[in-house]
Amino acid sequence: MTPPPSPPPPTPSVILVVQAASPRIPGTPDTGAEYREMQRAITHAQYAHALTLESLQAAQARDLPDRLLQNTPAVLHFSARGTPGGGLRFLTDDGGEAPVSDQGLCKLLTEFVAEGLRLVVLSACWTWELAHLLAGTVPCVIGTSGPITDTSCLDYSRTLYSTLAHGRSVAKAHSIAVAAAEMYGAELDCLPELLTAPGVYAEALHLVGAEYRTPPTRTTVKPQGGGFSWRLRKKPMAGDPDLWP
| Domains in the chain: ranges and CATH | 13-204 (3.40.50.1460)
Query: Can you give the chain as a three-state secondary structure string?
Result: CCCCCCCCCCCCEEEEEEECCCCCCCCCCCHHHHHHHHHHHHHCCCCHHHEEEEEECCCECCHHHHHHHHCCCCEEEEECCECCCCCEEEECCCCCEEECCHHHHHHHHHCCCCCCCCEEEEECCCCHHHHHHHCCCCCEEEECCCCCCHHHHHHHHHHHHHHHHCCCEHHHHHHHHHHHHHHCCCCHHHCCEEEECCCCCHHHCECCCCCCCCCCCCCCCCCCCCCCCCCCCCCCCCCCHHHCC
Q: For residue 188, what pLDDT is reported?
A: 81
Could you tell me whether strands 75-79 and 51-56 are parallel, antiparallel, or unpaired per DSSP bridges?
unpaired
Mean pLDDT of the chain: 87
Interval 1-21 mean pLDDT: 84
Q: What is the pLDDT of residues 172-217, one digit of tens each?
A: 999 999 999 999 988 887 899 999 999 999 999 999 988 887 665 5
Q: For residue 239, what pLDDT is reported?
A: 55
End-to-end, the C-alpha distance of the chain in Å comes to 67
In this prediction, residue 146 has a pLDDT band, given cuts at 50, 70 and 90, of confident
Q: What is the pLDDT of residues 96-112, one digit of tens each?
A: 999 999 999 999 999 99
Q: For residue 225, what pLDDT is reported?
A: 54
Q: What is the pLDDT of residues 39-58, one digit of tens each?
A: 999 999 999 999 999 999 99
Which residues share a beta bridge with 19?
79
C-alpha to C-alpha distance for 75 and 16, rounded to whole angstroms: 6
